[in-house]
Amino acid sequence: MASPIVQSFHQPVVSQVARQGYPSAPSAGESATKSAVSSAVASAVSSGFFQSVKRPILRGAVNFPVMLAPMVGLSHVALRSIVREYMPRGAVSPWPTEMLNSRRLPIEKFELVPEVLRDPSETHLVPQILGNEEEPIRHSVRRLEQEWGASGIDINMGCPVKKALSHNYGVSLMGDSDYAAEVVRMTIRHTSLPVSVKLRAGSKTPSRATEASVKDGTRDEVAGLDFLLRFATGLVDAGAESLTLHPRTAEQKRRGLADWDQIRILRESVSVAVVGNGDIQTADDVFRMLDETNCDAVMIGRALTARPWLLWQVGSRLGWPDPVGRDGEAPPSTPEEEGKEFGRVVVKLIDRFQQFHPPLEKAHWSDELLLRKTRFFLKNAAPWLQFGHELEARVAKAKSLLEARGAVEKFFEGAHSMSQRTDLRY
């Protein structure tokens, strides 16, 4: 007999409201129905029933279709710990680090390097490395697997910043398909962990309708897409077990629209899991990308730093249990609820910086570095907050982390609201 709970995340978990496509935000009536089967959902999660990612990621360990993106200065242990708190109970997703330089990793003291710090309770960590030489990669991945506790290795072939390009890291590897595939083989030779690759678009002219542009004879578009497919096929043939595509070119950086058609076409062209990334700011965006591209999961960057409860919103619409400690609550949804929750996140982030970073006398940083990290977080996350620039200005005046915390608490004494969308050009 078929289970009353739908296995794939392509449909709502509650069979009574099963229908084609993805679930919309639940109505009050649907909430009662969901409550009636909550125990069945919890049982299904605990028994491993939810394996909702169509193609395996981390060799089948991942069962939730949303994940945090690796971001310089942001995807550190403090932020990861906060974002995790909004994951539905039982949901499993890979967790990134900031980008790690394979030339430095072999000699670094992991317990003192901010980018490598981790909480011993963290699971399914997938550090992202920059590298193009076998010996540094060999030493790096062995340390990450044997000393640090990585669950997978991700190779960055999508970073367009000058620092990465100057060392032939990141997106510069997309300039040489054969060598990029060899970097994958290098990595696989020295680890038993699954290896994934994050890459960028192969087109110079982004379009929401790649196939239409092919018919129109847009040669750059066709050549770029053909290159992407050949490049990606080479990575898969070399042993990459999943791919993440941010469908903007290196020249675009964050400007213009992400070309989701490329995610769809890539997913149709390779046999491994494909994770889509780009232009995701709401739960609706998550479901739209899953529907339009058929990708296996969605990766979210800055929007998830600002609104980490997006994980909860998505999970709620899929019928997952509430996050640990939030049983019976609804995820923040109104602008005012989200504004209040954001205030809690910022205060908590400052506290986590102090919790996870070692005593200042043991490390090569100071209170000033943690204060800069707080400001950098706000630079990326506060644009979703109405009058977020005022919060940034107040924290910019703070002379210490403690003073910054006080400024945040004072700011959120009043009611504030968040926007669903903001300009993502930065």
Tens digit of pLDDT for each residue in 57-86? Answer: 999 999 999 999 999 999 999 999 999 999
Residue 26: per-residue pLDDT: 46
Residue 346: per-residue pLDDT: 98
Q: pLDDT digits over 289-339, tens only?
A: 999 999 999 999 999 999 999 999 999 999 999 999 999 999 999 999 999
Binning pLDDT at 50, 70 and 90, where does residue 120 land?
A: very high
- Short-list 389, 344, 353, CA closest to 374: 353
- Global pTM reads 0.84
Residue ranges with strand state E in 34-123: 66-68, 95-101
Residue 255: per-residue pLDDT: 60
Tokens 């640990």 found at: 324
Q: pLDDT digits over 368-391, tens only?
A: 889 999 999 999 999 999 999 999
- H/E segment holding residue 132: none
Which residues are registered as beta bridge partners of 5?
A: 14
Q: How far apart are CA 392 and CA 397, in angstroms?
A: 9
Given a cut of 80, whether residue 213 has pLDDT beyond it is no
Q: How large a percentage of the chain has pLDDT more than 90?
A: 67
Residue 240: per-residue pLDDT: 98
Q: How far apart are CA 189 and CA 274, in angstroms?
A: 23
- Short-list 185, 159, 418, 141, CA closest to 277: 159
Q: In the chain, what are the domain boundaries?
A: 66-318, 335-411
Do you know the residue count of the chain?
A: 426
Say yes or no: domain 66-318 is CATH 3.20.20.70: yes
On average, the pLDDT of the chain sits at 83
What the block records as the tokens of 305 is: 């730093």
Q: How far apart are CA 236 and CA 196, in angstroms?
A: 9
Residue 417 backbone phi and psi in degrees, to 5 = -130, 160
Q: Is pLDDT larger for residue 252 or for residue 198?
A: 198
Rg (the chain; Cα; Å): 21
Q: Is pLDDT larger for residue 201 or for residue 358?
A: 201
